[in-house]
Chain A
Amino acid sequence: MVALVLNSIIKLSKSAIKGKASLIIYLVCLALAVFTPLPAAVVVIAAGAAGVIIGRVSGRARQ
C-alpha cells in the first residue's frame, strides 16, 4: 500500500503542482493536514479560496 500510494502521489503531483504558488499551497495544506486537527474539508475550501486570490493577484500583476 505504501508503495502504491507513493507512486500515485508522484504521478499526480506532476500535473497538480506546477509553479511556486501551487507548491506553497501544497506545503501549507500538508502542514495543516498533518499537524493540526483541522477537518480536511476546511483545508480544501481554504485552498480553493487561496487559488482564487492568487489568480486575481497574478491577473492584476499581468495587467
Chain B
Amino acid sequence: MTLLRLFLEFFKVGLFAFGGGNAAIPFLYELAKNTGWFSALDLTNMIAVSEATPGPVGVNMASYVGYTVSGIPGLIIATFGLVCPSVIIILIISYVLKRYRDNPLVESAFIGLRPASMALISSAFISIVRVTLINEEAYAATKSLGDLFNPALIILAAVIFVLMRKLKLHPLIFIFASAAVGIIFRLGE
C-alpha cells in the first residue's frame, strides 16, 4: 500500500512540476505536509544533498524519499513514479508537436505556465528561508526579535549568494564551502 501511494504521490509531482528539477520542490513541500514521510527540514537537507550529487534534483529527491520511506523498492517506485508522467507526456507531445508546433494555443499556455513555475519555486524559496534562517518557535516563546533571526546563517547565505553571482563557479563548490563553514563555526548548534 505504501509503495502504491509512493508511486501515485510522485506521479503527481512528475505530472505538475513544470520547469525542471527545482520546480518539484514546492510539490515536495506539499508532500511533506500531507504525508509526514519527511519534514520541511529533511527536505531542505535533501535539496542540498541532491544539488551536490549528479543528476536532476527532482529525481535525486524522489530516490531519497522513496528509500527513506520504503527502502530499495521505495526508491525504485518513487523514481519511476516521478519520471513516468514526463516520459508519457513527452512521447505524446513529440507526436503532437510535429503537427501543432506553431499552434497559438500551445504558445499561449506557456505564457502562463512559465511564470507559474517561477512563482512556485519562489514560494518554495520562502519556505526554505523560514526553515533555515528564521526561528519562529524561539520567537513565539520569547517574543524577542533577536531570537527570530539567525544572524550567522543570514550572513553566510548573503556571502554565498554574492560570491555565486560574482564568481560564477559550480554550485557544488559553494555547497561544500558552506558545509565547511558550518562545521568549522558549528553553526548548527
- Where the two chains meet, the residues of A that have a C-beta atom closer than 8 Å to any C-beta of B are 1-9, 12-13, 15-17, 21-23, 25-30, 32-34, 39-41, 43-56, 59
Q: A16 with B115: in contact, given A30-B123, A51-B110, A56-B108 (CB under 8 Å)?
A: yes
**Contacting residues, chain B, for A22 (C-beta < 8 A):** 111-112, 114-115
Give B146-179 as 1s and 0s: 1 = Cβ < 8 Å from A's Cβ atoms: 0000000000011011001100000100110000
Task: Please determine whether B175 and A4 come into contact, CB atoms closer than 8 angstroms.
Answer: yes
**Contacting residues, chain B, for A25 (C-beta < 8 A):** 111-112, 115-116, 119
Q: How large is the interface on B (under 10, 10 to 19, 20 to 34, 35 or more residues)?
A: 35 or more
Q: Which of A3, A21, A40, A53 contacts B26 (CB 8 A)?
A: A40
Of B104, B108, B129, B158, chain A has the most CB atoms within 10 Å of the CB of: B108
Q: How many angstroms from the CA of A32 to the CA of B164 in the assembled complex?
A: 30
Give B4-48 as 1s and 0s: 1 = Cβ < 8 Å from A's Cβ atoms: 000000001001101100100111001000000000000010011
Task: Please determine whether B119 and A52 come into contact, CB atoms closer than 8 angstroms.
Answer: no
**Contacting residues, chain A, for B104 (C-beta < 8 A):** 55, 59
Q: How many angstroms from the CA of A28 to the CA of B112 in the assembled complex?
A: 11
What number of A-B contacts does a CB cutoff of 8 Å give?
Answer: 149
Task: Please determine whether A43 and B119 come into contact, CB atoms closer than 8 angstroms.
Answer: yes
CB distance from B132 to the nearest CB of A (A): 6
Query: Do most interface residues of chain A lie in helix, strand or loop, or is the interface mixed?
Result: helix
Q: A8 with B114: in contact, given A1-B132, A34-B126, A51-B108 (CB under 8 Å)?
A: no
- 29 inter-chain pairs at a CB distance below 8 angstroms, sorted by A residue, are A2-B128, A2-B132, A3-B160, A3-B161, A5-B125, A8-B22, A16-B117, A17-B115, A21-B111, A22-B112, A22-B114, A26-B115, A26-B122, A29-B120, A30-B122, A30-B123, A33-B119, A40-B30, A44-B113, A47-B112, A47-B115, A47-B116, A48-B112, A51-B109, A51-B112, A52-B112, A55-B104, A55-B107, A59-B104
